[in-house]
């Protein structure tokens, strides 16, 4: 209930301030585990992804620093977020992410690993492909445009483009599946970015 209320309020804020639009939201599978993978340029990107996929709740990995803020910690946990240590092999975060998928829920990830404001899709870390290989979850690519230009007094149009979901398949070793899966995610995000018009 809290998630739906917060999402409705934030969706209205995005529409009012940023003329928010979504294309392809119907690609989100109606049930079963899903890993949403998106580019990342701004702290508001989790809000944009969550408001783009209003059919289901999206649970996000969030940097552990956010969980050190007393008032914020309780709220984001109730909204389904869990902490991850950036730049490290965080087994606790991996187990939490795998539990989300094992419960048939939707996991949100930003596989670039950090924010980039230069309007490009950057090389990806293999965590999303690893989780997909381990869990059998579908992967849903999402590209966000406009948030790289957001500032305190600047309100550009924000759009989200959702591509078709896919799964990692094939008679390959896990290492090969993860490598090829990471390449496939990158390719699909790049294709979506080009279709958006921001990527050339």
pLDDT for position 88:
57
Instruction: Say whether pLDDT at 25 is over 80.
Output: yes
**pLDDT on residue 94:** 87
Task: Give the pLDDT of residue 122.
Answer: 95
Q: State the pLDDT confidence band at 93, using cuts at 50, 70 and 90.
A: confident
Q: What percent of the chain has pLDDT over 70?
A: 96
Residues 6+ apart with CB under 8 A from 175: none
**Per-residue confidence (pLDDT) for residue 89, from 0 to 100:** 59
Q: What is the pLDDT of residues 37-65, one digit of tens each?
A: 999 999 999 999 999 999 999 999 877 88
**Cβ neighbours of residue 51 under 8 Å, at least 6 residues apart?**
7, 10, 11, 14, 20, 22
Domain architecture of the chain: domains with CATH: 2-196 (3.40.1130.10)
Report the alpha-carbon distance of residue 163 to residue 129 in Å, rounded: 17
Task: Work out the average pLDDT over 21-44.
Answer: 97
- Note the pLDDT of residue 140: 98
Of the ranges 86-95, 128-137, 174-183, which one carries the lowest mean pLDDT score? 86-95
pLDDT interval class at 90 (50, 70, 90): low
Q: What's the pTM?
A: 0.92
Best CA proximity match to 51, nearest among 23, 22, 26, 30: 22
Residue pLDDT, tens place only, 95-150: 989 999 999 999 999 999 889 998 889 999 999 999 999 999 999 999 999 999 99
Of the listed ranges 8-12, 82-86, 178-182, the least confidently predicted one is 82-86
CA gap 104, 122 in Å, rounded: 29
Handedness of CA 14, 45, 51, 1 (dihedral sign): negative
Res 200: pLDDT: 47
Nearest CA-CA partner of 109 in 13, 36, 160, 180: 36
| pLDDT exceeds 50 at position 3 | yes
Q: What is the DSSP letter of 83?
A: E
């Amino acid at each position: 209930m809290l998630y739906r209320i917060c999402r409705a309020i934030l969706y209205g804020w995005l529409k009012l301030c940023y003329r928010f639009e979504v294309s392809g939201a119907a690609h989100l599978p109606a049930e079963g585990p899903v890993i949403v993978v998106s580019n990342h340029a701004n702290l508001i990107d989790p809000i944009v992804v969550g408001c783009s996929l209003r059919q289901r709740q999206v649970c996000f990995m969030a940097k552990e620093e956010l969980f050190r803020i007393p008032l914020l910690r309780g709220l984001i946990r109730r909204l389904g977020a869990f902490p991850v240590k950036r730049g490290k092999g965080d087994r606790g975060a991996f187990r939490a992410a795998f539990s989300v998928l094992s419960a048939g829920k939707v996991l949100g990830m930003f596989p670039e690993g950090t924010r980039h404001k230069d309007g490009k899709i950057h090389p990806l870390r293999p965590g999303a492909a690893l989780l997909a290989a381990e869990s059998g979850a579908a992967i849903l690519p999402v590209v966000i445009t406009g948030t790289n230009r957001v500032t305190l007094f600047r309100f550009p149009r924000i759009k989200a483009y959702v591509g078709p979901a896919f799964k990692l398949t094939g008679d390959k070793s896990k290492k090969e599946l993860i490598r090829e899966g990471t390449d496939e995610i990158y390719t699909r995000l790049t294709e979506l970015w080009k279709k958006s018009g921001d990527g050339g």
